Amino acid sequence: MNEIQRRKKENNYLLWIAKIINEDVKNSNIKNVTVVDAKLSNDGSDLKVYVLFNQNEKRSLEALNNIKGYIRKELSNYDHQARKIPNIVFKIDEATKQGEKIEAILKQIKEKEKDE
């Protein structure tokens, strides 16, 4: 699979998974999930999905991983051309969390500079 095809599939999977989680999943542990990114392996067999939660990260991530078979089955309804649907691994998006921390620190520094 070439780079353009892989990126297109990643984008499609990102949109489809977000839609499935937000519209179809009725698990009370999975609320306010933001699907941030999706990375497909070169051979198309594995898909890492990066997510953010507003609360209860550990429990929500565990609940998502418990229903990944359901999500994978639903993906097969969206992706009719795929010969196989990739294995899904959900991960917490640490990069976004780190970016938010850095942004907060920079904001504090700017406020201190204004006061001085």
What does residue 97 show for φ and ψ, rounded to 5 degrees?
-60, -40
For 66-77, the pLDDT digits (tens) are 999 999 999 988
pTM: 0.78
Q: What is the pLDDT of residue 49?
A: 94
Distance CA 70, CA 64 (A): 10
pLDDT tens digits, one per residue of 4-14: 888 999 999 99
Q: What is the pLDDT of residue 8?
A: 92
Q: Residue range 22-50: average pLDDT?
A: 88
* pLDDT tier, 110 (very low <50, low <70, confident <90, very high otherwise): confident
Angstrom distance (rounded) from CA 82 to CA 88? 15
- Per-chain mean pLDDT for the chain: 87
Please determine, looking at this structure, whether the domain spanning 3-115 carries the CATH number 3.40.640.10.
no
Q: Please tell me whether residue 98 adopts helix, strand or coil conformation.
A: helix
Rg (CA), the chain: 17
CA distances from 45 to 22, 74, 87, 96 (A): 24, 16, 6, 25
